[in-house]
């Protein structure tokens, strides 16, 4: 690792190389002055990155040159107390003595202890720091902190200011203990760089927000003795201080442990756009949730969000398991700006838009046509470009409406209008395109032939757009897909009413009715559903084959099950094999005995010579793709 150059840290910035993974360098993180926040799913490499940052800071001696310490607080920082609070070591093993941690000799290197123990030792040595923390404990909880040394170590006691006496930390809430350690580290001016793995652990959301405010008070260039670098990894939306375009470079986005993380440069041109600046000033908690996702599906409003999430749930398509987040925006005009924001974070972004985003103007299509892969998608369908085909079709739809005005005017009032407040001519164009896409043969005479031809070309355009993650509700808006009993009340109420019917509607019907929505879901959450049969089937197949090879007509059941255990190990305990052979035929009866894997098709009977590869797919069918 090359030493850090002096000018690298002149503005409080620090470049930390990440450790090599699978033989290659996994990038570097620019530690910004003040806060640097690592976000991403579990297993994406955030903790490993935090340790790489600590190693780089230690080796650079940058913090040490200012006479200050690098402090790392691990996710398991409360572990020294767990034996006093729970049976963490063994059954019924809670220690009854007052909790005591650390040793007096640790005072010389408290900052190298990655648990709360180090911060408690620092508190004991400094009355000013202890008072700083106590002022906040009193504000939040009416608590006071007392530290006593015993033969077993440092013993923290809590005193209630409400007259409830003093008690050992054994009996205090985990979140309060966490706060004591966090606040001590945050306000300790001996620390020049504070690295925290998941500061939100055990904290109430409001207290998470309080911790963020406290961190922001002291975050800055460590050359200033009142400031420190603070780097943390989090899963908590309340700990994401994203209020303007200037905050975005302080975030590091992780998606996969084998990929380099993404960090937006402060010089990124997209950050200078007025619409994106406005979006960041009013970013919601839902937007912040999406920052933790790997994939984001943008929809037009809460009704669309309800339908998409509940439909995915009914189809057993795991949005959350695929680390996908559905995010409603405030109208079609916001799609490009929100998509730009999340693409900067290296997220896979999909869009599910009402049809008017296609019929009214070409703003969304123009944005999508500029994305990577759009040109290749057009070429696959023999088009010059997506935007060129969209322009031709926009013209041809207008020509169709003029040429077949009588047929269009007769049918337009009978198509459910999802935008009654729009100008009449705009509504007419919208509902005509919806009819062309969903039932072109309902036009009359020559208009029907023209509508069918136009529909085929539009279908090609929609398929191109789908290749790069843009999907349109061909029927108009999500309300146009509802059953007859769900179109009453407010839009959110109607969506909730419709979603409530999904559990009683068979999947084939839903797949046919909501094909447009499901296409979008399958793009943003491409993984298959959790399917236990994919685990059960090969185990059972192997056991059946082995059992038949070793059995005769009189083999006892215990012997059959012993053979199964020898073949597939403990997994054999899920099944019970029974010998139901006759004098002329070897035959097994197989029962699933585990209550965790109850199956309607069991028990099954299998004769020697039958093709197991035909029997098991019927008995243990895989979930639909």
Quote the CA–CA distance of 276 and 304 in Å, as a whole number. Answer: 23
In a domain, 158, yes or no: no
Please report the pLDDT score of residue 88 as a whole number. Answer: 83
Same domain, yes or no, for 355 and 487?
A: yes
Same domain, yes or no, for 511 and 539?
A: no
Domain boundary (491, 524, 557) is at: 524
Domain boundary (524, 555, 571) is at: 524
* In contact, 418 and 360? CB cutoff 8 Å: no
Please report the pLDDT score of residue 245 as a whole number. Answer: 85
Same domain, yes or no, for 416 and 556?
A: no
Same domain, yes or no, for 502 and 577?
A: no
In a domain, 203, yes or no: no
Same domain, yes or no, for 512 and 562?
A: no
What are the backbone dihedrals phi and psi of residue 101, each rounded to the nearest 5 degrees, phi first? -135, 155
Average pLDDT across the chain, whole number: 90
Same domain, yes or no, for 560 and 442?
A: no
Please report the pLDDT score of residue 100 as a whole number. Answer: 92
Quote the CA–CA distance of 622 and 541 in Å, as a whole number. Answer: 14
Residues of the chain with pLDDT under 50: 1-7, 22-25
Q: By three-state DSSP, how is residue 317 classified?
A: coil
Same domain, yes or no, for 423 and 519?
A: yes
Same domain, yes or no, for 418 and 548?
A: no
Helices and strands (H, E) in the chain, number of each type: 24, 20
In a domain, 433, yes or no: yes
In a domain, 295, yes or no: yes
Take residue 333 and report the two structure tokens written for it.
Answer: 């005009």
Domain boundary (524, 549, 584) is at: 524
Domain that holds residue 537: 533-619
In a domain, 461, yes or no: yes
Same domain, yes or no, for 484 and 335?
A: yes
- pLDDT tens-digit series, residues 209-223: 999 999 999 999 999
Please report the pLDDT score of residue 1 as a whole number. Answer: 32
Please name the residue ranges forming H helices in 242-281. 274-281
Please report the pLDDT score of residue 422 as a whole number. Answer: 87
In a domain, 354, yes or no: yes
Take residue 127 and report the two structure tokens written for it.
Answer: 């009355």
* In contact, 513 and 521? CB cutoff 8 Å: no
In DSSP terms, 25 is beta-bridged to: 20
In a domain, 282, yes or no: yes
In a domain, 397, yes or no: yes
Take residue 349 and report the two structure tokens written for it.
Answer: 């972004």
Residues in Cβ contact with 318 at an 8 Å cutoff, skipping those fewer than 6 apart: 312, 525, 527, 529, 530
C-beta contacts of 304-310 below 8 A and 24+ residues apart: 304/328, 304/352, 304/478, 304/495, 306/492, 306/495, 306/496, 306/499, 307/478, 307/481, 307/495, 307/498, 307/499, 307/514, 307/517, 308/352, 308/517, 308/520, 308/521, 310/499, 310/502
What are the backbone dihedrals phi and psi of residue 195, each rounded to the nearest 5 degrees, phi first? -115, 125
Please report the pLDDT score of residue 527 as a whole number. Answer: 67
Please report the pLDDT score of residue 20 as a whole number. Answer: 57
Same domain, yes or no, for 515 and 540?
A: no
Take residue 534 and report the two structure tokens written for it.
Answer: 């994919």
* In contact, 207 and 175? CB cutoff 8 Å: yes
Please report the pLDDT score of residue 531 as a whole number. Answer: 81
DSSP for 477-536? SGGGGS-TTS--SSHHHHHHHHHHTGGGS-HHHHHHHTHHHHHHHHHH--SPPP-THHHH
Please report the pLDDT score of residue 271 as a whole number. Answer: 79
Same domain, yes or no, for 351 and 306?
A: yes
Please report the pLDDT score of residue 225 as a whole number. Answer: 94
- pLDDT tens-digit series, residues 519-578: 999 999 886 667 889 899 999 999 999 999 999 999 999 999 999 999 999 999 999 999
Same domain, yes or no, for 448 and 516?
A: yes
Q: Does residue 469 come out as left (phi exceeding 0), alpha (psi in the -120 to 50 range) or beta?
A: left
Q: What is the domain count for the chain? A: 2
């Amino acid at each position: 690792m090359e030493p850090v150059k002096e000018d690298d840290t002149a503005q409080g910035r620090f470049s930390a190389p990440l450790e090599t993974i699978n033989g290659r360098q996994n990038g570097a993180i620019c530690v910004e002055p003040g806060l640097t926040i690592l976000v991403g799913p579990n297993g994406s490499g955030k903790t490993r990155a935090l340790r790489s940052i600590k190693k780089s800071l230690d080796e650079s001696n940058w913090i040490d040159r200012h006479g200050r310490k690098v402090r790392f607080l691990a996710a398991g920082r409360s572990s020294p107390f767990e034996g006093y609070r729970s049976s963490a070591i063994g059954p019924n093993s809670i220690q009854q003595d007052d909790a005591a941690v650390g040793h007096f000799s640790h005072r010389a290197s408290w900052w190298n202890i990655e648990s709360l123990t180090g911060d408690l030792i620092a508190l004991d040595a400094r009355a000013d720091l202890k008072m700083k923390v106590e002022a906040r404990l009193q504000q939040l909880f009416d608590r006071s902190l007392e530290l006593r040394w015993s033969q077993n170590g440092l013993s923290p006691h809590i005193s209630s200011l409400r007259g409830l006496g003093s008690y050992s930390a054994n009996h205090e809430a985990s979140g309060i203990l966490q706060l004591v350690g966090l606040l001590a580290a945050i306000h300790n001016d001996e620390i020049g760089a504070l690295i925290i793995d998941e500061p939100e652990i055990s904290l109430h959301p409001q207290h998470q927000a309080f911790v963020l405010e406290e961190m922001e008070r002291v975050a800055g260039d460590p050359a200033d003795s009142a400031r420190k670098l603070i780097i943390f990894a989090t899963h908590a939306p309340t700990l994401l201080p994203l209020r303007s375009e200037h905050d975005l470079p302080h975030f590091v986005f992780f998606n996969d442990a084998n990929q380099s993380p993404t960090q937006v440069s402060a010089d990124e041109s997209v950050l200078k756009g007025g619409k994106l600046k406005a979006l960041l000033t009013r970013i919601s908690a839902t937007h912040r949730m999406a920052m933790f996702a790997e994939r984001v599906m943008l929809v037009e409003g809460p009704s669309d969000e309800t339908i998409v999430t509940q439909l995915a749930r009914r189809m057993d398509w795991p949005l959350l398991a695929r680390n996908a987040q559905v995010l409603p925006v405030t109208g079609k005009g916001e799609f490009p700006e929100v998509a730009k924001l999340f693409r900067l974070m290296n997220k896979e972004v999909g869009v599910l838009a009402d049809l008017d985003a296609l019929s009214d103007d070409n703003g969304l299509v123009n944005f999508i046509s500029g994305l990577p892969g759009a040109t290749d998608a057009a070429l696959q369908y023999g088009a010059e470009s997506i935007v060129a085909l969209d322009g031709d079709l926009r013209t041809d739809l207008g020509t169709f409406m003029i040429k077949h005005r009588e047929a269009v005017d007769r049918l337009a009032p009978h198509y459910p209008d999802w935008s009654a407040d729009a100008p009449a001519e705009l509504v007419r164009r919208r509902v005509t395109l919806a009819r062309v896409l969903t039932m072109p043969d309902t036009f009359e005479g020559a208009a029907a032939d023209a509508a069918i031809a136009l529909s085929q070309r539009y279908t090609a355009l929609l398929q191109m757009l789908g290749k790069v993650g843009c999907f349109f509700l061909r029927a108009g808006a999500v309300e146009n897909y509802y059953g007859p009993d769900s179109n009453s009340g407010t839009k959110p109420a109607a969506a909730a009413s419709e979603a409530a019917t999904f559990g009683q509607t068979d999947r084939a019907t839903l797949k046919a009715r909501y094909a447009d929505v499901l296409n979008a879901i399958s793009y943003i959450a491409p993984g298959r559903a959790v399917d236990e049969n994919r685990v059960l089937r090969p185990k059972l197949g192997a056991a059946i084959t082995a059992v038949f090879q070793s059995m005769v007509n009189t083999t006892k059941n215990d012997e059959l099950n012993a053979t199964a255990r020898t073949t597939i190990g403990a997994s054999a305990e899920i099944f019970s094999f029974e010998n139901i052979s006759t004098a002329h035929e070897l035959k097994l009866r197989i029962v699933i005995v585990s209550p965790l894997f109850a199956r309607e098709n069991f028990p099954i009977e299998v004769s020697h010579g039958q093709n197991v590869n035909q029997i098991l797919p019927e008995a243990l069918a895989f979930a639909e793709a």
